[in-house]
Amino acid sequence: MALPDGPWSRLLQGARRWLAGPGLADPPPIPEALWRATLADLPWLAGLQAEEVATLRGLSARFLASKEFHGAQGLVINDRIALSIAVQACLPLIYLGADALDWYDDFVGIVIQPDEVLAPREAIDEAGVLHRWKEPLIGEAMPGGPVMLAWSHVAPDHEAIAQGHNLVIHEFAHQFDLRGKSSAEPANGGPILPAGFMGLRRPVALRLWRETWSAAYAHFRERLELAERFGEPAPWLDAYAAQAPAEFFAVACEAYWVARERFTQECPTLAPLLDAFFKRPPR
C-alpha cells in the first residue's frame, strides 16, 4: 500500500533519537492511517486482542524513535518500510512490560537492502586451505548491530506464515540471544532467562533450558536426516534450523510467534519454555 510521506518520514530521515526516561517527551505517536495500513499488510496479526495491539503500537513508536534505519543500494526508507519492521520486531516484546525494549538496547542501526545480498565469506579447512565464497543473505544479526534485512522478504505472505516463517522475528530473536554476550562469544540459543523463570531457581532454570533445547535440536536434526536420506516426512520447522543451536532458537521463535498452535504441536517441549520466556498468556 502506497502512502504519502508525512512528518514521520521526515523524523526518520533526521535519524532523531528519543531516549526513554523520566522527564523526556513521549515519542511521536504513529498516525492512525499509517497504523491501519501497516496492520493490513500483516494480516496474520489479526488475532491480537485490542490491548495487545495498543501495546504493540506504543512499543513500535518507541522502537522507531530509538533506532536508525538506513536504506542500502538506493532504497529510500519510508513510513511503510520502517513501521512494518518495527511492528514485527516488537511483537515478541508485548508481554515483557515497561523495560521490554531493553532487549534491543545493544544496537541502533537497521540496514534495509532491497533484496537478498551476496555476502563474502571465508574459512580455513582442516588441510589449512583458505576457501572464499559468497553466501546469499536475506537477513543478518550481529553483536552491537546493525541488523540487516532484505525488504523483499519483510512482509511474509500467507503461505510463509503457515510454514512459520518470519524474517524480522528471526533476526530479532538473534538479538535476544546476543544480548549480554561479547562478539567473541556468539549467539548459542541460550538467552538470558528472566529471574524466577518457570518458578525455578536460576541454576535449575538454566539446566532445564539447556537440556530441553539440546534434546529438541538433536531430535530435529535426526528427523531431518531421516527425511533427506530415507524419504521420511520432513519436519515442519524450516530445515535451516539445523545449521546451529542459535539458528534453531531463531527459527523456533519465528514459528512460535506466527503459528503458535502448529508450533506447539510440532515442538511440544519447546512451546512452554517460549511461553515462559516471552511471558505470553495461554489462549
Minimum distance of Zn ion from residue 240's CB (angstroms): 7
- For residues 212 and 214, give the distance between their C-alpha atoms in angstroms, rounded to a whole number: 6
When computed from its CA atoms, the radius of gyration of the chain, rounded to whole angstroms, is: 19
241 binds Zn ion (CB under 5 A): no
Give Cβ neighbours of residue 173 (< 8 Å, ≥ 6 apart).
92, 249, 250, 253, 254
CB 192 within 8 A of CB 180: yes
Stretch that binds Zn ion, among 63-71, 74-82, 225-233, 247-255 (CB under 5 A): 247-255
56 binds Zn ion (CB under 5 A): no
Q: Which of 250, 258, 259, 274 binds Zn ion (CB under 5 A)?
A: 250
What SS3 class is residue 137?
strand
- For residues 111 and 19, give the distance between their C-alpha atoms in angstroms, rounded to a whole number: 20
Minimum distance of Zn ion from residue 171's CB (angstroms): 7
187 binds Zn ion (CB under 5 A): no
77 binds Zn ion (CB under 5 A): no
Residues 2-21 that bind Zn ion (CB under 5 A): none
Can you tell me which residue has the cell 574459512? 123
In Å, how far from its chain's centre is CA 229?
A: 31
- Kindly tell me which of 79 and 247 has the beta carbon lying closer to Zn ion: 247
255 binds Zn ion (CB under 5 A): no
Minimum distance of Zn ion from residue 87's CB (angstroms): 20
Minimum distance of Zn ion from residue 184's CB (angstroms): 19
Q: What is the DSSP code string of 76-134?
A: PP-HHHHHHHHHHHHGGGTTS-TTGGGGGTT--EEEEESS-EEEEEEEE-TTS-EEEEE
Stretch that binds Zn ion, among 176-184, 187-195, 239-247, 266-274 (CB under 5 A): 239-247
C-alpha distances out from residue 280 to 22, 91, 154, Å: 28, 11, 24
Residue nearest to Zn ion (CB): 250
Total site size for Zn ion, rule CB under 5 A: 2
Stretch that binds Zn ion, among 33-41, 144-152, 244-252, 255-263 (CB under 5 A): 244-252
Minimum distance of Zn ion from residue 154's CB (angstroms): 15
Stretch that binds Zn ion, among 17-25, 76-84, 149-157, 245-253 (CB under 5 A): 245-253
Q: Which residues pair with 140 in a beta bridge?
A: 148
Minimum distance of Zn ion from residue 173's CB (angstroms): 8
- Kindly tell me which of 27 and 164 has the beta carbon lying closer to Zn ion: 164
Minimum distance of Zn ion from residue 274's CB (angstroms): 16
What count of other Cβ atoms lies within 10 Å of the Cβ of residue 283?
7
Can you tell me which residue has the cell 525455578? 200
Q: Which residues bind Zn ion (CB under 5 A)?
A: 247, 250
